[in-house]
Amino acid sequence: MQRIGTEMNIKNLDVKRLIQLDSELNQILDYDLLLEKILLEARNIVQADAGSIYVKVSEKENGETVEKLSIKYSQNDTLQGRLPPGQKMVFSTFSLPINSKSISGYCAFTKKLINIPDMYNLPSDVPYSFNSNFDKISGYKTTSTLTVPLVIANGFLLGVIQVINAKDQEKNIVPFSKDDELLISHFAATAAVALQRSHLTWTMLMRMMKMAELRDPTETGPHVNRVSSYSVELYDHWALHKNVPKEEREKFRDILKMSSMFHDIGKVAISDTILKKPGKLTDEEFATIQTHTCHGARLFSDIHSPVDLLARDIALTHHENWDGTGYPGWIDPFTMTVLKADESGKPVGKKGEEIPLASRIVAIADVFDALSSRRSYKEFWSEHDVLLEMRRLSGIKFDPELVEIFFEVLPNIKQVQNMYPDD
């Protein structure tokens, strides 16, 4: 049984949606969130139950650079439906060679679309094979697949989209049609352009982070990627609890992902003697470190976008504590004028919901990553000890509601750790 596409459908409903998606994709700032959106919309266009998106990466093997495909996102409506509301499906991260042995690898190697009606009955003359281990482990049967390369105008490969198990109007699994091939090919071309633009932005951002890393060894690319991704996971679940409308949720998560990367950017203004000190800081040195919040906020004094505005707030207030004991407190970061002072004249700390939501989220993400990572100034903490400390700090350093959400999304947090390991 196969879906019968109509010329009227292709010319009207589907083409209108493709044009709309062109605009939507180009509004997404963050590279990872764009990849997630591309996979979701590719599945929607051809009514696929599941799918994965891969990006081309360079990896070192035996001293040589080898190009591979690395999985970035995997989605599956059937498996997602087995999970509690709000919990995301966890998938394994892996990379595979760009060659003829796997279907996605072959698609990347040839840069040609591959439409397979039944994965368990591959033609005898194809060079690739199907690894059914995932199906056996998950209890999910992969039947029809449509695999398409993401290629820009000069023929450069960015990645591969694979959509799985087309469904007809009665939700029966059917092969992908010729109309599906046409639609997803057009969409892939549009998506590749948006992805190239976003990747250029992401690359420039990572270069800025590399510059910051030269000053502060803890501000690595993997660290900022983990913190920003943890922050999105926390916000997504918080927004679900609060019934935040989808459009508002997607817009904010995109801005949050980008802005949270700059949380400690103000450390570029701190002396190397303090930043790179291997042991414990003195009280005076720690007071100097605290000024990085104001330095970071001042970098965003000229506001041109929502990212600038949120990045300024996060840089300034992500070290404030829920109970009011954090820093820098009620102070104007540009004039250093104290806005609210205690009896000694020092700034009063912001507390509770006086601290912006984004900063309360980033505080949890940043501390969790710092505790989970090796640092020159502390011993390595076990996962058990890290989680105990996160619980202990609930209501003291952290928003208690967000701590509960942190533990609800912990499987997704661990997945992010696997996606961005330390170099």
DSSP state string for 124-167: TT-S-----HHHHHHT-----EEEEEEE-TTS-EEEEEEEEEEE
- Alpha-carbon distance of 116 to 222, in angstroms, equals 37
Do 89 and 28 sit in the same domain of this protein? yes
CATH at 323: 1.10.3210.10
By DSSP bridging, strand 114-116 and strand 64-76 are unpaired
From CA 25, how far away is CA 186, in angstroms rounded? 14
- Of all helices (H) and strands (E), which one includes residue 10? none
pLDDT confidence of residue 8: 39
Q: Say if residue 232 is in the same domain as residue 162.
A: no
Q: CA-to-CA distance for 6 and 71, rounded, in angstroms? A: 33
Do residue 179 and residue 326 come from a single domain?
no
d(CA 133, CA 137): 6
Three-state SS at 64: strand
344 and 217, same structural domain?
yes
Q: Does residue 1 lie in a domain region?
A: no
CA atoms 86, 92, 95, 101: torsion sign: negative
CB contact at 8 A, 362 and 263? yes
Last residue of some domain: 199, 218, 236? 199
Q: Are 143 and 13 in contact (CB under 8 A)?
A: no
Kindly state whether residues 195 and 213 are assigned to the same domain: no
The percent helix, strand, coil of the chain (3-state, each to 5) is: 50, 15, 35
Tokens of 419: 């996606």
- Closest by CA position to 406, among listed 221, 220, 242, 236: 236
Terminal-residue alpha carbon distance, the chain: 49
Whole-Å CA distances, 121 to 124, 125, 143, 172, 340? 9, 12, 9, 18, 72
Instruction: Check whether the bond before 328 is cis (ω within 30° of 0).
Output: yes
Nearest-angstrom CA–CA distance, 33 and 338: 38
Contact 265, 315 (CB under 8 A): yes
- Are residues 298 and 187 part of one domain? no
**The pLDDT value given to residue 3:** 55
Contact 387, 409 (CB under 8 A): no
Q: What is the pLDDT along the chain (423 residues), one digit of tens a residue?
A: 445 444 434 434 566 777 788 888 888 888 999 999 999 999 999 999 999 999 999 887 777 888 999 999 999 999 999 988 777 887 878 899 999 999 999 999 999 999 999 999 999 999 999 999 989 988 999 999 999 999 998 889 999 999 999 999 899 999 999 999 999 999 999 999 999 998 888 888 888 777 777 777 666 778 888 999 999 999 999 999 999 998 899 999 999 999 999 999 999 888 888 888 877 889 999 999 999 999 999 999 888 889 999 999 999 999 999 999 999 999 999 999 999 999 999 999 999 999 999 999 999 999 999 999 876 556 678 999 999 999 999 999 999 999 999 999 999 999 899 888 876
Burial of 171 (C-beta count, 10 Å sphere; 0-12/13-18/19+) = exposed
Give yes or no: residues 123 and 92 share one domain. yes
> Domain range holding 275?
206-419
Please tell me whether residues 290 and 414 are part of one structural domain: yes
- Write down which residue in 144, 164, 199 finishes a domain: 199
Are both 193 and 224 inside the same structural domain?
Answer: no
Q: Decide which of 182, 199, 216 is a domain's last residue.
A: 199
Residues 239, 375 within the same domain: yes
- The model carries a pTM of 0.80
Q: Is residue 2, in this structure, part of any structural domain at all?
A: no
Q: Residues 151, 57: one domain? A: yes
214 lies in the same domain as 192: no
DSSP state of 347: B
CATH number for position 67: 3.30.450.40
C-alpha count within 13 angstroms, C-beta hemisphere, residue 376: 12
Q: Which residues 6+ apart lie within 8 Å of 68 measured at CB?
A: 56, 57, 58, 59, 95, 96, 97, 98
Backbone angles phi, psi at 418, to 5 degrees: -70, -30
- pLDDT of 378 reads 60
Q: How many domains does the chain have?
A: 2
Q: Which residue has the tokens 């591979």?
A: 68
Helix axes 15-25, 31-46, angle to 10 degrees: 170
Q: Are 197 and 230 in contact (CB under 8 A)?
A: no
